[in-house]
């Protein structure tokens, strides 16, 4: 599903040049659950942003479903992203002005799904995430665990092939964290590919494979059994 080769990303300011990804190569197969680990500043989030088509690489190749997407413009990236990729963030990133229902509905609006169908699908996924009873609440009225469940619901409502999770349990206590990890595992078992960035060895154990990064490069791969 994902094949990146010699990927480079360099951040430049007037005075400093920082290499975030240094000729990194990686492959993720369909249905895999991959965890990316490494110390702060090793390039995990940059990698995730590029995989999520939120950012451009400065060099190298990025094949997404065998299509070279490394130099797609923003419009093309947005088009590919909204149909194929779901995101889960550490800080949830729910829109405060929208209710639970409306937050989850948002990706469907952008993909042009009709209103009745949207309602059906949002309710289905809220039900699955067991937060149906909170559908009319605003994010600030929910606990952290509930907010992340909404975020996961939003990530999966469009039935993406790939879910990118950036430290999904980073802001949660262990009990809520485990719940979210279980949700991701269930989704993976149902066929969704997952790439997760994490600092937590515990969470990484839910994955099939752990990629360890340092200074913008992969240094080790652990296959989980």
Partner 1 sequence: MLKNYLKIAWRNLKRNKGYALLNMAGLALGMACALLILLWVYDELSYDKFHKNYPQLYQVYENQTYDGKTFTFSAMPGPFAEHAKNDFPEIKHITRMDWGSHHLVSLGDKHVYEPGYFVDPDFLKMFSFELLQGDSAALLTDPTSLVITDEMARKFFGTENALGKTLKVDNDRLMTVKGIVRKPPENSSIKFSWLASYKIYEQRNEWLAFWGNNGIRTYLQLHEQADPALVNKKLYNYIYEKDSSTLAKPFLFSISDWRLRREFEEGKQTGGGRIEYVRFFSTIALLIVIIACINFMNLATARSEQRAREVGVRKVMGAGRGMLIRQFFGESIVMSFAAVLLAALIVYLVLPAFNTLVEKELTFDCTNPVIWAGLPGMALLCGILAGSYPSLYLSSFNPVTVFRGLRIGKNSIIVYVRKGLVVTQFVISIGFIICTIIIYGQIQHVKQRNLGYSKDNVLQAPLRGLMNERFSVIRQDLLATGVVENAAVSNGNAMTTNSSSGDFRWAGKDPTRQVLISMEWVSPEFLSTMKMELAHGRDFYPDAQRDSNRVLINEAFAKLIGRENPVGEILYRDNNEQFEIIGVVKDFIYNDMYKKPDPCVIFCEPRGVNNLMIRLKDNQDISKATAAIEAVLKKHNPGYPFEFEFLDEEFNQHFKTEMLIGKLSRLFALLTIIISCLGLFGLAAYTAERRTREIGIRKVLGATLSNTVLLLSKDFLLLVALASVIAFPITWWVMHRWLEKYAYRIDIEWWVFVVAGLLAVVIALVTVSFQALKAALMNPVKSLRVE
In 111-205, which ranges are continuous DSSP H helix? 115-128, 144-156, 174-189, 201-204
Closest CA to 124 of 108, 138, 111, 144: 108
Could you tell me how many residues make up the chain?
225
Q: Does 55 bind partner 1 (CB under 8 A)?
A: yes
Cα R_g (the chain), whole angstroms: 17
Q: Does 102 bind partner 1 (CB under 8 A)?
A: yes
Instruction: Pick the stretch among 50-58, 120-128, 186-194, 207-215 that binds partner 1 (CB under 8 A).
Output: 50-58
Using rule CB under 8 A, residue 121 touches partner 1: no
Task: Establish if 10 lies at the interface with partner 1 (CB under 8 A).
Answer: no
- 87 scored as a contact of partner 1 (CB under 8 A): yes
Residue closer to partner 1, measured from CB, 7 or 210: 7
x-or-dash string of contact with partner 1, 141-170, rule CB under 8 A: -------------x---x------------
- Is residue 154 within 8 A of residue 106, CB to CB? The reply is yes
Instruction: Decide: residue 171, CB within 10 A, 0-12 exposed, 13-18 middle, 19+ buried.
Output: middle
Determine if 96 is a binding residue for partner 1 (CB under 8 A): yes
Residue 26's Cβ-side half-sphere holds a number of Cα atoms within 13 Å equal to 31
Report which DSSP code applies to 180. Answer: H
Is residue 81 a contact point for partner 1 (CB under 8 A)?
Answer: yes
CB 33 to partner 1: min, Å: 21
Tokens matching residue 194: 């997952």
Asked if residue 43 binds partner 1 (CB under 8 A), the reply is no
Q: Which residues bind partner 1 (CB under 8 A)?
A: 45, 49, 52, 54-55, 74-75, 78-79, 81-83, 87, 89, 91, 93-98, 102, 106-107, 109-111, 154, 158
């Amino acid at each position: 599903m994902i094949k990146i080769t010699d990927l480079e990303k360099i951040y430049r300011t007037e005075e400093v040049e920082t290499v975030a990804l240094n000729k990194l190569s990686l492959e993720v197969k369909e249905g895999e659950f991959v965890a990316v680990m490494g110390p702060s500043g090793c390039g995990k989030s940059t990698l995730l942003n590029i995989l999520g088509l939120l950012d451009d690489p400065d060099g190298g190749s990025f094949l997404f479903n065998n299509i070279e997407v490394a130099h797609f413009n923003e419009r093309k990236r947005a088009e590919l992203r909204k149909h194929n990729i779901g995101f889960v963030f550490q800080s949830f990133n729910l829109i405060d002005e929208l209710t639970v229902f409306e937050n989850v509905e948002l990706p469907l609006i952008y993909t042009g799904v009709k209103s009745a169908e949207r309602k059906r699908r949002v309710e289905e996924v809220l039900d699955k995430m067991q937060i149906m009873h909170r559908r009319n609440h605003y994010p600030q009225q929910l606990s952290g665990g509930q907010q992340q469940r909404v975020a996961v619901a939003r990530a999966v409502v469009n039935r993406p092939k790939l879910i990118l999770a950036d430290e999904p349990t980073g802001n949660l206590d262990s009990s809520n964290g485990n719940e979210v990890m279980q949700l991701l595992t269930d989704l993976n078992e149902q066929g969704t590919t997952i790439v997760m960035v994490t600092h937590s060895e515990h969470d990484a154990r839910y994955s099939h494979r752990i990629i360890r990064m340092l200074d913008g490069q992969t240094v080790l791969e652990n296959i989980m059994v």
